[in-house]
Amino acid sequence: MRSLLSQTVLLGGALAASSAMAELPDYTPRIQARINLAGNPSGAYNLAPGNLLPGSYHVPLTLDRQLAFRLSITPEGHRAIWWGQNGQGSRIYLLPDLGEDTLASDTGLNSRGDIAFAVTYSSSNGIYLLNAADPSQVRIIREPIGANSWDTLDLNEAGQLGFRVSFSGVGRAHVRLNPSGQGYATEYLAKEQGVDPASPYFYLYSPGFNDLGQIAGVVDLQSVGSGVQELRVWTAEGNSQRIAASVAVDPASPIYRFASVQPALSNTGKVAFLGTFRDAQGRNLTTLWRWDGAALKVLAQNGQDGIKEVEFFPPDINDSGLVVFRAFDSAGMRAVWVSDGEGKKRVVSEHDILSSDLGDARVDQETPTSPVFGGSPKINARGDVTFVAGLAPPDNDQEEWGSGIYVAESSLPPPSPPDGGTDGGTDPDGGTDGGTDGGPDSGTDGGPDGGTDPDGGTDPDGGDEVDGGPSETPDGGPGDGGSGSTPDAGGDGGDVPESELATGGCGCQSTSATSLGAWVLLGLTRLLSVRRRRGRSAGGPWTV
């Protein structure tokens, strides 16, 4: 049977057009919080100094501009959650003492202020649910039975939870938890062969989730590294649509390999994803594609149209088809971009001057080759974008002002209802545009320090290393591995560790011992302890 790809994909100038193109907005970045090392004279904003971001993360955003993010190091020594809106916010939840190995995932957030995150390697593993209005009331879900990690966890407007679950020594599955009475009903959408020998899927990569409860993800049909891959969208177990395939499956496909970072899925059936295109010279070019329901379109590609290199971080998409992503421009400067399929625009660039709580601030770092942005940008239905950037005084890049968490406010009006969720507003049919997984932590040319499995787990993508900032090994972004400039989901490494060493103040400045001091020593000591313990038997999946 002939693939849709061979009928609909066009490369170069003759690209297929979307049925309803989005408009590119203008942007006004507004600071929401600023993290910094304890002791730095510039202090922090909307949280105390010494509360630090992990090495790989994202900041979800609702239509009414609520946002939430995790803190991997706090003055108290426990993981924490921050929530805010319109420039105000605070740390609203501090995990109790569940053991020094405890990991917490990125947050899922909906317009009702519900927040979900996964806790692993603790004395009380599970999916933690709370509401920003009363964060002291916490509910813990431990479904499905036998799970030992819940990767790329997301929460949609219908109250559903979507994630990739791991069963130690068995395999993985894509799962949706549906609210049912006072609890949740577990629904498997896809399983690896280790979980179900009858499954066609050898390996499941990190998925995206939307408000319709659909999951999008890349699969290996044969052994990891074979390159025999598909990108599918599941609505129920046994009910999925193939969106795209690698050349090993469909010789007419432009996709040599899929990237191992998760795809983004809108409520309107659009999918944004990274992969590699192999040109006539045999070069693998990192490429950002968008599926609009009928055709694939190239939005960005290494060496094309002002882009030097697409960074290896998950894109995000909203229901209008606007896609946000990270890439170097032709001058080698890092930037966050949006594209509507016809054009693209910078949201923010390295060396931009932004407003901050300290006055004008420059997006910069003291080491020119170090990253100034952190984690994966996110977009809502209006086109607002969250990003995290290292800050310095406009005239002195050797002075640390920490990392600013920003909402770049779109000039577009809010969409007409119904269109809700993390991508949209308050109606349950709105959109948490998929993609899940910001201090600056990355580049595109090195071994990933991140993974879409921010909550750890027993798989190698768990990890607990602290992110030292700009001189760290570049972060592969929330994903399962890959190889930086060639983000190959079919690499032999499979999932890779997420960096958990918190960003050193700004997360984009120097990571020398003098700048990080006790935090680095604490992180390294903790890492060695964690690795020693993880070498021993993990025991049961949780302790109640």
392-403 pLDDT, tens per residue? 999 999 999 999
Q: What percentage of the chain has pLDDT greater than the value 90? A: 70
pLDDT score of 203 more than 50: yes
Is the model's pLDDT at 515 over the cut of 50? no
Residue that wins the pLDDT comparison between 528 and 24:
24
pLDDT given at position 423: 56
Q: What is the pLDDT of residue 134?
A: 97
Residue 466 near residue 455, CB atoms below 8 Å: no
Mean pLDDT, rounded, for 413-420: 72
Query: Residue 368: its pLDDT value, please?
Result: 84
Contacts of 14 (CB under 8 A, 6+ apart): none
pTM over 0.75: yes
Separation CA 482–CA 447 (nearest Å): 8
pLDDT-based confidence at residue 120 (cuts at 50, 70, 90): very high
Confidence of residue 56 (pLDDT cuts 50, 70, 90): confident
pLDDT at 320: 95
Between these two residues, 38 and 458, which has the higher pLDDT value? 38
pLDDT category of residue 20 using cuts at 50, 70 and 90: very low
Which helix (H) or strand (E) segment holds residue 232: the answer is strand 229-236
For residue 85, pLDDT beyond 90: yes
Cα–Cα distance between 290 and 284 in angstroms, integer?
Answer: 18
* Confidence (pLDDT) at 247: 98
Residue 418's pLDDT is 58
Closest C-alpha to 297, from 342, 245, 234, 242: 342
Q: For tokens 């006539």, name the residue.
A: 280
Structure-block tokens of residue 449: 């320090």
Using a 10 angstrom Cβ sphere, with 0-12 exposed, 13-18 middle and 19 or more buried, the burial of residue 96 is exposed
Structure tokens at 394: 């406009």
Query: Quick one: pLDDT at residue 447?
Result: 30
192 pLDDT exceeds 50?
Answer: yes
How far is C-alpha 400 from the geometric centre of its chain's CA atoms?
Answer: 26
* Residue 354 confidence (pLDDT): 98
| DSSP string for 108-136 | EE-TT-EEEEEEESSSS-EEEEEETTSTT
Helix residue ranges per DSSP H, 256-337: none
The predicted-structure confidence for 90-106, as pLDDT tens digits, reads as follows 999 999 999 999 999 99
Q: Which residue has the tokens 């970045």?
A: 29
Q: What is the pLDDT of residues 257-309, one digit of tens each?
A: 999 999 999 999 999 999 999 999 999 999 999 999 999 999 999 999 999 99
Q: What stretch of H or E contains 527?
A: helix 518-534
pLDDT at site 416: 81
pLDDT of residue 474: 30
- CA atoms within 13 Å, Cβ hemisphere of 482: 41
- CA-CA distance, 501 to 498, in Å (whole number)? 9
Please, are residues 57 and 375 in contact by the beta-carbon 8 Å criterion? yes
The pLDDT of residue 27: 98
Q: What is the mean pLDDT of residues 334-341?
A: 97
Output the average pLDDT for the chain: 80
- Provide mean pLDDT across the span 345-369: 95
Q: Does residue 239 surpass a pLDDT of 50?
A: yes
Domain boundaries, the chain: 264-413
How confident is the model over 215-235, as pLDDT tens digits?
999 999 999 999 999 999 999
Residue 182 has pLDDT above 60, yes or no: yes
The structure tokens listed for 163 are 């994630």
Burial 13-33 (b: 16+ CB within 10 A, else e): eebeebeeebebbebebbbbb
